[in-house]
A and B are shown apart, each in its own frame.
Chain A
Amino acid sequence: MIKATRLSKYYGSLTAVDNLSFQVGPGEVLGFLGPNGAGKSTTMRMIAGFLTPSGGTATVCGFDIQKDPIAAKSAIGYLPEGAPNYPEMSCGRFLDFIADVRQLKGNTRRARLDDVIDRLHLGPVMHQAIDTLSKGFKRRVGLAQAIIHDPQVLILDEPTDGLDPNQKFEVRELIHKMASDKIIVISTHILEEVHAVCSRAIIIANGKLLADDTPQALESRSRYHNAVSLRVGQGTDAESVRNILRSQQQIGRIEGEGDSITAFPKDGALLLPRITGLANEHNWQLDELHLESGRLDEVFRDITSAEPQV
């Protein structure tokens, strides 16, 4: 369990994190969302014990990060932003070093090392200096050091930043596999990532918590939630489709240009069956027809821009 209680951080007169309280339990993957400079990294750094909070505190697995930092840090695996590591060390030496500091010994140590090397496909680069590795490999080395002691709590600051799509996919798979029995907090500003890995998302801006919900519930806040989008095919006149849709009682608004049309429901009406019916009735040629679940980027923009900028 991670429990943040009124966590705050001030830099002089600047408030980076403002009275943040939240809890994360086992099995949850919490996504930290927010614009750049929202306080995501600062919050993670405080929980990981790198920064001292100006106010409030956090406990990790019952250990207060300020009163019992060593016990708390032992329970955490942390990937700092940008995955820093010692450039002159070889990948193998670096992981050996982390395993030693984490007090792994004997068979456990060997098994854990084999496990992370296998999981992150580090085998071929074990003898290479980290300096000479590609960005993707560097990030994987960073992830390997974070999970080497099989921690209860994983805090990953932008784990997929700068990776190519395949690497992103792999990292998300990795997080997925570990999610069942761990507490995982990741920060990101890639919204598709929230869908891909998070069971819950917290949106912060200017250090304040603005939303705390499942990705689905956040999406349902979008005005696109339950809207129906369609694309008219050749042989059907888009204007006449628009006119027919406009005349429907349940449809509040019509948007879109050219062949693309989005119909927004009025009073939470269910549009899909109705529109399918109309399409059959008027013999519309449709290339595309789907129900919108909501657009996270739009919700994100709404929530974070409603907050007055300092």
Chain B
Amino acid sequence: MSSVWVIMKRELRSYFATPVAYVFIFIFLALTGLFTFQIGGFYERGQADLAAFFEFHPWLYLFLVPALSMRLWAEERKIGTIELLMTLPVTMWQAVLAKYLAAWCFTGIALALTFPLWITVNYLGNPDNGVILAAYIGSFLMAGGFLAIGACLSAVTRNQVIAFILTVSLCFMLLLIGHPQVLSVMQGWVPQFIVDAIASLSFHTHFASIKKGVIDLRDLVYFVLVITFFLIANAVILDVKKSN
């Protein structure tokens, strides 16, 4: 476990050693602000909640998280440090987990830095802080899901642009299939249980219920499963590349 911690620390530090961290955090905060106040109509709603803020998280993550995850393995492969990392006495699992956790921690930091919004809404009214906490947890889990997909696809290639496009595409699909408009197109000619099954695969569906403040075990299990699945796939891809 200590190796995971050591590698994770190194990774996290390297985010802040380059402008990547600051640009990411700045853009993330600027966009959440823009979406919340301009498009979400935070004031106009006249409600003491952060629904306007969380509403746009899936779409923000869709572009920002792949930008973060694309470098995870592709860059290591490109500059050759993967050879260094994989010949240190650490297991594949420790490396995969450590790099992933560092990236997830980083998105956690970015998310936590939106706290002024929470202070604002508490200053303006009496929001249900339980709902807000649940939504934060849901948002963090969703970011984790996006990241796991991105980490896995970053291991496929040494080209970061390809990793980015693949991740955005897959995440976009996973978001879209849960959208009411998309589901309504299917309704009528596709059996309902298939529509439900497809919807239940979507990030959108699961985040939608968490952000309302309902932490359902099924939603938690969903995100944990997505993360686990893609991290296993990540390790398998690295292992296959090792023997090819």
Contacts and interface: CB of A to CB of B under 8 A. Distances in A.
A is bound by B: yes
Interface of A: 11, 45, 48-52, 54, 69-71, 73-74, 76, 78, 80-82, 84-89, 93, 97-98, 100-103, 129, 145
Given A73-B88, A88-B18, A82 B80 contact: yes
Interface in B54-94: 79-81, 83-84, 86-91
A98 B81 CA distance: 12
Contact of B83 (A76, A80, A88): A80
A96 B69 CA distance: 25
B221 interface: no
A277 to B, nearest CB: 59
Contact of B7 (A76, A80, A101): A101
Given A52-B243, A89-B14, A101 B81 contact: no
A11 B244 CA distance: 6
A63 to B, nearest CB: 11
Contacts of A89: 10, 13-14, 17
- Which range contains the number of B residues in contact with the other chain? 20 to 34
Contacts of B13: 89, 93
Contacts of A51: 242-243
B1 interface: no
B126 interface: no
Contact of A50 (B3, B86, B90, B239): B86
A78, A86, A102, most chain B CB atoms within 10 A: A86
B6 interface: yes
Contact of B2 (A48, A54, A103): A103
Contacts of B80: 80-82, 84
A49 B88 CA distance: 9
A68 to B, nearest CB: 11
Given A51-B242, A82-B80, A100-B6, A88 B14 contact: yes
Nearest to A86: B81
Given A11-B244, A51-B242, A93-B13, A84 B84 contact: yes
21 contacts: A48-B87, A50-B83, A50-B242, A70-B90, A70-B91, A71-B89, A74-B89, A78-B84, A80-B83, A81-B80, A85-B81, A87-B79, A88-B18, A89-B13, A89-B14, A89-B17, A98-B88, A101-B89, A101-B90, A102-B89, A145-B84
A80 B243 contact: no
Contacts of A48: 87
A52 B242 contact: yes
A50 B95 CA distance: 13
B13, B86, B91, B243, most chain A CB atoms within 10 A: B86
A73 B10 contact: no
A50 B88 CA distance: 9
